[in-house]
Structure 1
Amino acid sequence: MTAEPLSAGPEDPSEILRVLPAEWHEQFLAEYHGALDAAHEVWRFQQLRDVLHLWRLRAVAYANPEYERAREAAREGRSEEFVPAEQVIPGWSDRQ
């Protein structure tokens, strides 16, 4: 039997860096290294997984050319340009 090369999954740090715009690399790496250090404690391993998952979602959003425009629309309350979270995420208003 021969070893198969590992394929990078969507939450692989190198894949996140590939998708993530360069201006976010430093912040991602700082949070990743912090979570990696924390993962030396077995009970904190989930923190590493959470950081990778969150940054994968951020990478997809930040890489979208429409991201900044949508962010401004949300910040300024221009609801005609976006759908508020409470309309699409069940229980969103209960989280606040």
Structure 2
Amino acid sequence: MSAQPVHAEPDPRDPQVIYDRLPEQARPKFLTEYHAAVDASHDLAGYRGLRQLLKTWSALAFAYAKPDFHQRYEDVRDGVGEYVSMDEVFSRHDA
């Protein structure tokens, strides 16, 4: 018999976890995109889109939680500093 963890971390790609971690102002956009992706996922080809959406919003929820998120967002928008693309973030995470 193996020991089970007392408290497992929530799946960061769970739609409820994403929703709960997002700031109030981002939640309507997430829900709109999520519902559209769920509708599209009824077609087998659309399932990948749903997975990608959850992956992207999970990363956004993580970013929003950082205290300096808004300053970093403005810096990226204004071309200040060096940053990596979301594709690079995902490739590092999936490795």
Aligned-pair CA distance for 1:62? 1.4
Unaligned runs of 5+ in 1: 1-6, 90-96
* d(CA) in 1 for partners of 2:10, 2:28: 21
- Runs (4+) off by over 3 Å: none
TM-score computed with the length of structure 2 as normaliser: 0.73
Name the % identity. Answer: 35
- Give deviations 1:56-80, integer Å, cap 9, x for gaps: 001111121101111112222332x
Q: Greater Rg, structure 1 or structure 2? A: 1
Aligned counterpart for 2:69 among listed residues 67, 74, 86: 67
Aligned counterpart for 2:23 among listed residues 21, 38, 47: 21
Q: Secondary structure at the match of 1:40?
A: coil
* d(CA) in 2 for partners of 1:85, 1:28: 23
TM-score computed with the length of structure 1 as normaliser: 0.72
Aligned-pair CA distance for 1:84? 3.2
Q: Number of residue pairs matched?
A: 78
